[in-house]
Amino acid sequence: MSSLADVDPEIAELIRAEERRQADTVKLIPSENYVSRAVLEATGTVLTNKYSEGYAGKRYYEGQQVIDQIETVAIERAKALFGVNHANVQPYSGSPANLAIYLAFLNPGDTVMGMGLPFGGHLTHGWSVSATGKWFNPVRYGVRQDTGRIDMDEVRALALEHRPKLIFCGGTAIPRTIDFPAFAEIAREAGAVLAADIAHIAGLIAGGAHPSPVGHADVISTTTHKTLRGPRGAMLMATDDEHAKALNKAVFPGLQGGPHNHTTAAIAVALREAAGDDFKAYARQVVTNAKALAEELSSRGFELVSGGTDNHLILIDLTSKGVAGKPAAQALDRAGLETNYNTVPFDPRKPFDPSGLRIGTPSVTSRGMGESEMRQIGAWMDEVVTALAKGDADEADKVIARVHGEVSDLTSKFPAPGLA
């Protein structure tokens, strides 16, 4: 970083500070991960200098001899990894990727059906504050109050009543396996396009640790980071020519100009890594670790939405602990345990001060941690939350300081990928 330090020492030092923070923290936010040094290197290259509007072989700028090869490699690797016939690696992130699905298959005012945000869905699945909830007619499904799981009978009833043109399955806080075949059957019955948003679980699917939507969903959207351990980008996939052509046209020229070529290269690197046996073992360990952490938390009296997890994600309702999600997340962060406060189904509290915490195991698994470390993490979380609930600020500060020291000892034994 010598050149950056010379040009802008302030930003250089802030980047170094973030490197130290990431190395010293137990990252439990399920949408975060550590990329490899190879992915980092590909992201920070001269490819950022090049404009490439269009697609390989059909560009609006010259000088694409190398870029076309890079994008083609990324596409072919995505197709091979996920078993699809078509892939678009140009979307800038998950939300624009989902917007491209709307542009490809809907007109303003058409009905779209997705999981409600408070139940674990995503903003772009038709939530009210999103453009997707303002420009389209949203119908939302949720989960059963007694089980915390999606009621597929309710989904079917809503779909047949409202006849949406597009149905989303997937979301941001779903701790259980998504039943892609059931969603596909409902979509066919309702005459809807089925879009599987696998942003959170793409790495698990690639590694064989979660069922795939391929063969069930008409289109698939995903980010390329999270469990897939790539750069901050996105992909759209399809199995037939008709859907693929509509998606490509929606991405460019419908929503975007030139793709971010440095990101495309990094996506290609991440996809190559995800095709290896080591990644398959990683994906399985992510789920094993999540189950171990869920069991530890449950044994300590934490209420888990749906009773546990099938994937990388755990959603905790802190109501019984007498602590809200936001102060708990802030206290845990001070202790070196990075989480995010999150709404839980049927949450009586407001979204910016909800009842829950959302945690996951992708990052800690990338560092090589296993079940024993998950049990220790669960114990630390319990100590911090219990101390916070007692209402003695001084005593809570002591517990937080001690736990942070112990967390630092643990992270020193498990170097962070890409930072070591």
Residue ranges of the domains in the chain? Answer: 41-274, 288-412
Average pLDDT score over residue span 295-299 = 98
- Whether residue 71 is predicted with pLDDT greater than 70 in this model: the reply is yes
Summarised one tens digit per residue, pLDDT across range 319-343 is: 999 999 999 999 999 999 999 999 9
pLDDT digits (tens, 9 = 90+) for 338-394: 999 999 999 999 999 999 999 999 999 999 999 999 999 999 999 999 999 999 999
CA-to-CA separations, 204 to 211, 248, 357, in angstroms, rounded? 8, 26, 22
**CATH number of the domain at 41-274, please?**
3.40.640.10
- Distance (Å) of CA 148 to CA 96, 158, 218, 277, 408: 29, 18, 27, 34, 35
Q: How confident is the model at residue 201 (pLDDT cuts 50, 70, 90)?
A: very high
DSSP-derived secondary structure for 208-242 = TSS---TTT-SEEEEESSGGG---S-EEEEESSHH
Q: Dihedral of the CA atoms 56, 61, 63, 65 (nearest 10)?
A: 10
94 among the known binding-site residues? no
Indicate the pLDDT class of residue 419, thresholds 50, 70 and 90: confident
Q: Are 295 and 314 in contact (CB under 8 A)?
A: no
Q: How far apart, in whole angstroms, are the C-alpha atoms of residue 89 and residue 48?
A: 16
Asked whether the beta carbons of 217 and 64 are under 8 A apart, the reply is no
Those residues whose C-beta lies under 8 Å from the C-beta of residue 220, and which sit 6 or more positions away, are 82, 84, 195, 196, 198, 213, 214, 236, 237, 238
pLDDT at 414: 97
> 202, 226 in Cβ contact below 8 A?
yes
pLDDT greater than 60 at residue 1: no
The C-alpha atoms of residue 59 and residue 258 are separated, in whole angstroms, by: 10
- Chain centroid offset of residue 414 CA: 23
Q: Is the pTM of this model over 0.85?
A: yes
Per-residue pLDDT band at 420 (split at 50, 70, 90): low
Give yes or no on whether 41-274 and 288-412 have one common fold.
Answer: no
Tell me if 121 is assigned to a ligand binding site: yes
User: What span, in angstroms and rounded, lies between the C-alpha atoms of 66 and 76?
Assistant: 16
Please tell me whether 83 is known to bind a ligand. Answer: no
Q: Which residues contact 295 (CB under 8 A, 6 or more apart)?
A: 308
Residue % of the chain over a pLDDT of 90 = 98
Buried b / exposed e along 63-92 (16+ C-beta atoms within 10 A): ebeebbebbebbbebbbebbebebbbbbbb
Pairing state between β 313-317 and 303-304? antiparallel
Confirm if 35 and 265 have CB atoms less than 8 A apart.
no
pLDDT in tens, 353-366: 999 999 999 999 99
Fold category of 288-412 in CATH = Aspartate Aminotransferase, domain 1 (3.90.1150)
The answer to whether 258 is annotated as binding is no
Contacts of 328 (CB under 8 A, 6+ apart): 318, 321, 339, 341, 357, 384, 385, 388
Assign 7 a pLDDT band (cuts: 50, 70, 90). Answer: very high
Which pLDDT value is given to residue 2? 65
Supply the mean pLDDT for the chain. 97
- Give me the active site residues, please: 51, 53, 197, 223, 226, 232
What's the average model confidence in pLDDT over 35-56? 97
Tens digits of per-residue pLDDT, 109-153?
A: 999 999 999 999 999 999 999 999 999 999 999 999 999 999 999
